[in-house]
Amino acid sequence: MKKSAIVTGASKGIGWALSKALLEHDFEVIGTSRSGVIPIEHEELHALKLDLTSGESIGNFANSLKAFDKQIDLLINNAGVGPDLRSPLPDEASFDATFDVNVKGTVMLTESIIEMVKKGGMIINVSSKMGSIAYCERSGAVAYRMSKSALNMYTKILANRYDGTYKIASIHPGWVKTTIAPDNIEHARLSPEESAAKMMDFILSDFRHGIYWDAETNQELEW
Ligand SMILES: NC(=O)c1ccc[n+]([C@@H]2O[C@H](COP(=O)([O-])OP(=O)(O)OC[C@H]3O[C@@H](n4cnc5c(N)ncnc54)[C@H](OP(=O)(O)O)[C@@H]3O)[C@@H](O)[C@H]2O)c1
């Protein structure tokens, strides 16, 4: 039977490339975006609406998923925002926007659908090296960095709660040419497809439960 994956934030960037890579690896993919549109033509791709800033939208998504009546093999919490990625100091609007999506929405979504993840399945939180406290040598992007540290803590919490039930990890996708920050397309090192290929290598490997992984350099990160 085909394996099934949920990828949040599949409309563009890393989530879009990951969805294509999963389809190429014969997964059935449920991809989400706020509009419900995913620009991928494939009969095994199901596009669903999800706005992580809205409890109602999360509830509707969970109900739609129940209607699919499928056990999920892989949940990839990829959707994320970074409005203060190039800001030296935090501001309230980007702090709220960042934490609503990267932390609160991601946690609430996961809690509302985790029972639909098959025992032995995987949960991958797309974090960032910028969430590592051990590697932090700069002072900007305050909300973004803190949101990814908080997401890493959630990975640890889930790993403790579901030890022996699911395999769970935080992953850094590398520095990727997407529109998450204004200069990423010009300066970043990896195309979304290159990042997705590296992330797929990790997902398909027998990775250690509860790990924080740098997909760009293929090594474990310190929290
Ligand atoms: N690019 C990098 O160098 C890099 C490095 C480290 C980590 N990351 C992480 O990788 C993940 C993907 O980033 P990306 O670079 O691919 O960014 P991106 O191209 O901006 O894509 C972000 C995705 O998140 C979705 N999204 C945004 N707001 C949302 C909301 N309120 N509810 C639900 N979905 C929402 C977007 O979908 P819609 O707008 O269509 O709804 C889009 O599909 C993020 O978690 C990011 O922090 C990226």
pLDDT tens digits for range 190-218: 999 999 999 999 999 999 999 999 999 99
Q: Is the CB of 103 under 6 A from ligand 1?
A: no
pLDDT band of residue 70 (cuts 50, 70, 90) is confident
Pick from 193, 203, 197: which is nearest to 76 by CA? 203
pLDDT tens for residues 7-44? 999 999 999 999 999 999 999 999 999 999 999 999 99
As a whole number of angstroms, the distance between CA 8 and CA 54 comes to 14
Counting Cβ atoms within 10 Å, is residue 209 exposed (0-12), middle (13-18) or buried (19+)? middle
Please report, for the domain that includes residue 21, its CATH number: 3.40.50.720
Q: Report the domain count for the chain.
A: 1
How far, in Å, is the centroid of ligand 1 from the Cα of 86?
Answer: 16
The burial class, CB within 10 Å (0-12 / 13-18 / 19+), for 36 is middle
Q: Give DSSP secondary structure letters for 75-142.
A: EEE-----TTTT-SS--HHHHHHHHIIIIIIHHHHHHHHGGGEEEEEEEEEE--GGG-STT------H
Distance of CA 176 from the midpoint of ligand 1 (Å): 11
Which domain range does residue 13 map to? 3-220
pLDDT score for 39: 98
Residue 101 near ligand 1, beta carbon < 6 Å: yes
pLDDT in tens, 137-166: 999 999 999 999 999 999 999 999 999 999
- Compute the distance from residue 81 Cα to the ligand 1 centre, in Å: 5
For residue 68, is pLDDT > 90?
A: no
Q: Provide the angle, in degrees to the nearest 10, between the axes of the packed helices 13-24 and 192-204.
A: 50
* Whole-number pLDDT of residue 169: 98
